[in-house]
Amino acid sequence: MSALGGGEFKIVFTGPMGAGKTSAIAAVSEVTPVATEVANSDLISHTKASTTVGLDFGHITLADGQVVRLYGTPGQARFRFMWEILGRGAAGVIVLLDATQPGALVQMDLFVDAFLPLVPPGAIVIGLGRTTLPGALGSDAFAARLDARGLLVPVFSIDARQPRDVFLLVRTLACILEAQALPEVAA
Amino acid sequence: MQTLRICDIGLSIDASLAFHSMLKIVDGRSLASWQTSDAEHADVLLVQANSNPGALSAWTSSGRPAVLVIDDRASWPPAPFVLRYPFRVMQLLSLLDSVAEHLRSRSTRVASEGAAWAGAVSLRHLMAQTGERGWHIAHAGDRAFLWVGDAHAYALPATLQGLRTGTMALGAFSAAADPPPAAALRCALRDVAWYVGAHGPAELAPWLRPDTSYRLRGWPDFGRLGTAPHLIELAATAALRPHLPAELGERAGCAPADAYRFLAATSLAGLLTSFTRAEAIEHPHNVAPARGAWTRFVADLRRHLLRVA
């Protein structure tokens, strides 16, 4: 990790319960992710059988041996204290949402507001799952809501189980970071 | 292969030496065979920006293209062909190919450009009409293949796939009474517009200007639209601040043609906003502090993801 001055390069996957954070990390991590799932006791929020209560962890190794660490947060607001612990020092955040969930737009606001202060300017990408199902909101609705707040954030329709889609999110984040880091030419 | 003559004037000694050395390297790799010549017999002028305004003005009035060379500290001039020194071989090659393509098509540009952009211009006109009733149809030969009405596009699945992959070109629309066939699928008009622009000609669209700066006002949904090499890099660069068309490609590390198609696609899809030069300079943008190791790491990550995706 010498290139990063002894620090770590960390990308955080966040979003509400059932949005696909654990699946997304499993889709792109080179190792079986470390997960802290327990039986879901909040069946009102989501009917899935298990849910993350601590964190998910996976990694991607680059050609020169350097490592990108992938952390997944718990989705439930009662574990919000974990969001700041995991988000602090992150290179960027990927917010995953379920487009069929009632209140998905409000959920997006909640997670964007929580992580925006923790990451570099603009280092946020939204992955929207289940957009092709009946009743789902399209990505335009989410982009418009962000635009109304003055935020220009990529919102992509994805399947969090598909490595190609998750790599698209991570690559977009890398492109944003790289574009921002390029030295400016004097105007 | 077309032979083109190029003359350099006003360059620094280092820049001139680099140019002549690289010209030998690109020999056989470019769309044209390049030879150096004096200004009188040259097809293209390579000139240091601001070094000789009179000569440049006289040159451009002849209708021949000029490549402006700027240095690291200079602002990007509103010109179609700009090269920043120090430059790499691939940057020179890409630019020379753009100039060669420009010259090759110039003689027939008026006719061919009109035809090549006809579908896009027609679609853009249709999208600007609010409250328009009835159907408009684009044809491929004698066959109707794309219907626009009710603020949506309708086409058979194979046609949509052809537009998505760029294997089917869109012609101009005309008003029609017949609705689309029952088997036609409905899709968002802005998605069709995106595909038309993304697979358009390798030149700046006629409604865009080389001396105007453009910034993204909304990201394309690459999850739904699909992506291609350079599109994400271009979007990330265009989201940061306004760029001139030629500057955008250079900063995103891709060929001018890729930047021109990206701008055509984003503008047709309503995702682009334009700025005058003064507005572009004043435009605020957030930039993370540049850190060498960090930047290299991120670039490595991006390349890694491009390979594995």
CA dihedral B117, B123, B127, B132 (to 10 degrees): 140
Give the residue, A145 or B111, on which the prediction is more confident. Answer: A145
Query: Nearest Cβ partner of A181 from B75, B218, B288?
Result: B288
Residue of B nearest to A124 (CA): B236
With beta carbons under 8 A apart, name residues in chain B contacting A172.
222, 232, 235-236
- What's the confidence (pLDDT) of residue A176? 94
ipTM, two decimals, is: 0.87
Higher pLDDT, B106 or B269: B269
Cβ within 8 Å, pair A158-B223? yes
pLDDT score at A170 = 95
Q: Which residues of A touch B281 (CB under 8 A)?
A: 187
- Of B52, B73, B107, the residue at which a domain comes to its end is B107
Nearest by CB to residue B290, choosing from A4, A157, A181, is A181
The dihedral built from the CA positions of residue B197, B203, B208 and B212, taken in this order, carries a sign that is positive
Cβ atoms of A21 and A56 closer than 8 Å:
yes
Residue B61's pLDDT band (cuts 50, 70, 90) = low
Is B223–A165 a contact, with Cβ atoms under 8 angstroms apart?
Answer: yes
C-alpha triplet A48, A53, A55: angle, nearest 5°? 110
Higher pLDDT, B142 or B151: B151
Inter-residue long-range contacts of B144-152, CB under 8 Å, 24+ positions, other chains counted: B144/B176, B144/B178, B146/B170, B146/B192, B147/B179, B147/B180, B147/B184, B148/B123, B148/B173, B148/B189, B149/B179, B149/B180, B151/B189, B152/B186, B152/B187, B152/B188, B152/B189
Cβ neighbours of B217 in A, within 8 Å: 147, 152
Chain A residue with minimum CA distance to B237: A179
pLDDT per residue over B144-202, tens digit each?
A: 789 998 889 999 988 888 888 888 878 888 888 888 989 999 999 999 999 999 999 99
| Domain of B269, in residue numbers | 213-305
- CA B78/CA B244 separation, integer angstroms: 7
Sorting pLDDT into bands at 50, 70 and 90, what band is B114? low
Q: Which residues on B lie below 8 Å from A154 (Cβ)?
A: 219, 222, 235
> B218: nearest CA in chain A?
A152
Q: Is residue B205 part of a domain?
A: no
Query: What pLDDT is recorded for position A72?
Result: 94
Per the CB < 8 A criterion, the answer to whether A153 and A120 are in contact is no
Residues B41 and B72 in one domain: yes
Percent of chain B clearing pLDDT 90 (strictly above): 37
Rounded CA separation A22/A35 (Å) = 8
CA distance A34 to A55: 8
What is the residue-averaged pLDDT of chain B? 85
pLDDT given for residue A145 in this prediction: 96
Q: In terms of domains, do B188 and B264 share one?
A: no
DSSP code at position A186: P
Contacts of B6 (CB under 8 A, 6+ apart): B23, B34, B35, B36, B37, B42, B43, B44, B45, B46, B96
- Do B115 and B105 meet the contact criterion of CB atoms below 8 Å apart? no
Give pLDDT tens digits for B126-141: 887 755 678 889 887 6
DSSP strands (E only) in B17-89: 33-36, 44-48, 66-71, 82-85
* Confidence (pLDDT) at A6: 54
CA A161 from chain centre, in angstroms, equals 14
In a domain, B223, yes or no: yes
What pTM was computed for the model?
0.74
Lowest mean pLDDT among A42-51, B86-95, B258-267: A42-51
Nearest chain B Cα to A131, which residue?
B224
Of A123, A88, A95, nearest to A7 by C-alpha is A88
pLDDT of residue B57: 72
Please answer yes or no on whether B300 and A68 come within 8 Å at the CB atom. no
* Residue B46 belongs to a domain: yes
- Dihedral sign (CA B87, B91, B93, B99): negative
Is the domain of B21 the same as that of B82? yes
- How close A70 gets to chain B, by Cα (Å)? 13
Query: Does any CB of chain B come closer than 8 Å to the CB of residue A128?
Result: yes
pLDDT in tens, B282-306: 666 655 555 677 788 888 888 888 8
Tell whether the model's pLDDT for residue B212 goes beyond 80: yes
Query: Do the Cβ atoms of A74 and A82 come closer than 8 Å?
Result: yes
Count of residues for chain A?
187
Same domain, B148 and B226: no
Residues of chain A with Cβ-Cβ distance to B233 below 8 Å are 175, 178-179
Query: For chain B, how are helix, strand and coil distributed in percent, rounded to 5?
Result: 45, 20, 35
Instruction: Tell me, yes or no, whether B185 and B217 share the same domain.
Output: no
Which among B137, B170, B198 is the end of a domain?
B198
pLDDT, residue A63, reads: 83
Residues B87, B71, single domain; the answer is yes
- Count of CB pairs separated by less than 8 Å, A with B: 138
List the structure tokens of B170: 């869109």
User: Taking CA atoms, what residue in B is nearest to A132?
Assistant: B224
Minimum-distance CB partner of B305 among A170, A182, A187: A170
My answer on whether B224 and B247 are in the same domain is: yes
B22 and B100, same domain (yes or no): yes
| Residue B204 placed within a domain | no
Of B197, B206, B230, B209, which Cα lies nearest the Cα of B80?
A: B209
The predicted pLDDT at position A52 comes to 67
For chain B, how many structural domains are there in total?
3
b/e per residue, B47-63, with b = 16+ CB within 10 A? bbbeeeeeebeebeeee
State whether A182 and B217 contact (CB < 8 Å).
no
| CA–CA separation, A25 and A133 (whole Å) | 23
Q: Tell me, what's the pLDDT at B283?
A: 65
Query: What's the gap in Å between the CA of B251 and the closest CA on chain A?
Result: 8
Q: Chain B residues with CB inside 8 Å of A118's CB?
A: none
The tens digit of pLDDT for each residue in A51-106 reads 765 678 999 998 888 899 999 999 888 888 889 999 999 999 999 999 999 999 99
Confidence category of residue B226, pLDDT binned at 50, 70, 90: very high
Give Cα A150 distance to the centre of its chain: 20
CATH of the domain at B30: 3.40.50.2300
Residue B223 has pLDDT above 90, yes or no: yes
B237 CB neighbours in chain A (<8 A) are: 179
For residue B243, what is the DSSP state? B
Could you give the CA distance from residue B233 to residue B235 in angstroms, rounded to a whole number? 5
What is residue A1's predicted lDDT score, i.e. its pLDDT? Answer: 39
DSSP letter (8 states) at residue B72: T
- Decide if B59 is inside a domain: yes
Choose the most confident range, by mean pLDDT, from B30-39, B58-67, B114-123. B30-39
Q: Are residues B229 and B298 in the same domain?
A: yes
- Under an 8 A CB cutoff, do A181 and B298 touch? yes
Residue B204: pLDDT over 60: yes
A95 touches chain B (CB under 8 A): no
Q: Is A4 on the interface with B (CB under 8 A)?
A: yes
How far off is chain A from B75, nearest CA to CA, in Å?
A: 5
3-state secondary structure of A128: strand
Report the CATH number of the A2-181 domain. Answer: 3.40.50.300
Which residues of chain A, if any, have pLDDT below 50?
1-3, 186-187
Please give the single-letter amino acid code of residue B196: V
A182's tokens: 């390029």
For B274, phi and psi rounded to 5 degrees? -110, 155
Domain boundary among B134, B166, B198: B198
* Residue-level pLDDT at A136: 95
% helix, strand, coil for chain A, step of 5: 35, 20, 40
